[in-house]
Structure 1
C-alpha cells in the first residue's frame, strides 16, 4: 500500500525506485503482485505516464486512510515511550539554515539520538512529496492557502547599502527613488523580483527593480551590496552582522517592509509522525523565544 501511494504521488516507477534506492523492477514487481492479489488493475500504463484506473482511484483513497491509521497507531506507542525515533528528512533555505537552524538541529540530534536527520539546504522551492521530505522550512511573507504549515518564527526585511555607495550616489528618501539606483534582487522566489514598502503615511509602494545583478542566494547579494554595487533588501538573519559592524547601513528607515514568517511546511494532509511534531516544537520554542 505504501509503495502504491508513492507511485501515484510521483507518477513514475523510476522516480519511486530512485527515491527508495532500489531497482525499478523491484517497484514494478511489487505493484504487479498487489494487483494480482486484488484481482484488479490499479494503474493504466503508457509509454509517457501512469494513470489510475477507477479501481485504483477507489483503492488509493482507502489506502491513505489505512496508512494514516497505521502511522497513528505506531505513533501512539512511540508517544507512550516518549522517545522520538526514526528518520526525518528536512529541507530549508541555505542562508537561514546555516545562520539559524544548524545549531538547533545539531542540538536536537544530540538530544534525540534515536532520530536520524537528513538535512537538505537549498534555496529552490521543493515539492515535499516528490523529494521525500518530512518537513520543509520556508521563510516567506505569504504562503499558498493550501499549504499545510505551522508558523515557528518571524523575520523582517531591511533595505541596505554600503556607506561608500551612499556617499557616492546619495541616499534614497522614498521608495520611488529606488528607480534611480541599482537594486540587487533575490530570484529564488520570483523571476522578476520587486520590493514592497509601506510609507509613514500608510501608502503601499511596490518597486520593480533595476538589477545589474540578481541571484538566488541572499548572502551573495549582501556581499555585492557591501562592495558598493548597489542596494539590496534582505532578511535580518543575513544582515545582522553586516549592520552591527557598519559595513552596511539601513535605508528608507521610515518605511516598513512585509514581515516574513518562518514556517514548518508538511507534505499534505498526512498524519504527522510524533518525531516530526517533536522537531517542530523544538524549533518553535527556540525560534519564537
Structure 2
C-alpha cells in the first residue's frame, strides 16, 4: 500500500532550515526539541539519506537537504496559508508579513506608508527587506515583492499596479556648460551615468513621438547598482542619467534637475506586486497587498493608472 508523505516531518524540517536550529524551531512551534529531532530522524530513515549535518556547535544542510529545502519550505507555507485561508473570514489580519522592495523605492515610497499601515492593521508585523537585486521569493521565505521591471515568465503571481515613466535628467548647471541634447545621438558627446539594473543597462533605447527609434551606448565615469547613488552626481552637474519618474519628480519640481529630450521616450517599466505561486494567501498578506496597491496606483508618477481592481496574473 502506498504511504502518504510525512507532511508534518517535512514542515518541521522546513522550520529547522528557516531558524537554523532545532531548539528555535521547537520554541516557535511550541514543541519539545526531542519531538522535532525525532521527526527529522524519522524523515531521514524514510528517504534513506541524511538531510542535515549535526555537530554540537553547528547545523548545516547536506546536498540532499539543499535540494529538499525549497520544496519543504513551500509545503510549510502552503499549509500555513491553507489554515489561514480557512479562517480568514472570521479573523482580523495578523502576524508576520515578509516584504521585499528595491532599495530606493522602498525608502522613498514603502517606508512612508508604514505608519498608516500599522494604524489600519495593528496586529500585522512587517519584515521589510530592501535590495535592488531580484531576490528568490520562495527560497527566501518572502510573502510579497515589489518589482519595477518587465517581469520574466515564471510561476510567480503578479498584480500590476501601474506603468512607470523613465526620464533623462541633469542639473541646470550641467546644461549651461555642456548644452542640452536634442537627439539620442547627441548623448555620445555627454557624460552619461549608468544604473546596473536597467532592463538593458548597456544600451539606452529611445522612441520619438513621430515613431523614430534610436539606441545609444552611454559612456561615463560611473555605474551604480542603486539609483540613489546617482543623485549626488546629478545635483553636482557631473552628468546625465535615466531615472524612473518617482525618483526625480521632487527634484524636477524644485528646479534642481531638468528633464530633457521630452519628445523622446524610453520603454515604460511596470510596477508589480509579486507573490509566490500559491493561490492561497493568509489574510495578513492579502491586506498588505491591497493596502500597497491602493496607495501606489494613486501616485502622481503612476502612468496609465490602473484604478480598477484587476485580478492577478501568473508570470
TM-score (norm 2): 0.74
SS, match of residue 261 in structure 1: strand
* Distance in 2 separating the partners of 1:66 and 1:101: 28
1:61-85 CA-partner distances (Å, limit 9, x unpaired): 9x9679636632332313223x101
Cα distance, 1:70–1:22 mapped onto 2, change above 3 Å: closer
- 2:152 pairs with 1:144: yes
- 2:64 pairs with 1:51: yes
Whether contact under 8 Å (1:243, 1:249) holds in the other structure is yes
Identify the residue that residue 40 of structure 1 maps to in structure 2: 46
- Dislocated runs of 4+, deviation >6 Å: 26-29
* Distance in 1 separating the partners of 2:209 and 2:182: 12
Q: Which runs of 5 or more residues in structure 1 are unaligned?
A: none
Whether contact under 8 Å (2:9, 2:39) holds in the other structure is no
Whether contact under 8 Å (1:136, 1:264) holds in the other structure is yes
* Distance in 2 separating the partners of 1:178 and 1:202: 19
Q: Which runs of 5 or more residues in structure 2 are unaligned?
A: 1-6, 26-31, 54-60, 299-315
- 2:107 pairs with 1:98: yes
1:268 Cα deviation from its structure 2 partner: 3.1
* Distance in 2 separating the partners of 1:206 and 1:19: 52
1:36 Cα deviation from its structure 2 partner: 2.1
Whether contact under 8 Å (1:152, 1:280) holds in the other structure is no
* Distance in 2 separating the partners of 1:71 and 1:132: 13
* Distance in 1 separating the partners of 2:49 and 2:163: 44
1:177 Cα deviation from its structure 2 partner: 1.6
1:34-58 CA-partner distances (Å, limit 9, x unpaired): 4526962165659995238xxx89x
Identify the residue that residue 196 of structure 2 maps to in structure 1: 187
Q: CA RMSD in A?
A: 3.5
Whether contact under 8 Å (1:200, 1:254) holds in the other structure is yes
> Which region of structure 1 is more displaced relative to structure 2, 233-242 or 101-110?
101-110
Identify the residue that residue 161 of structure 1 maps to in structure 2: 170
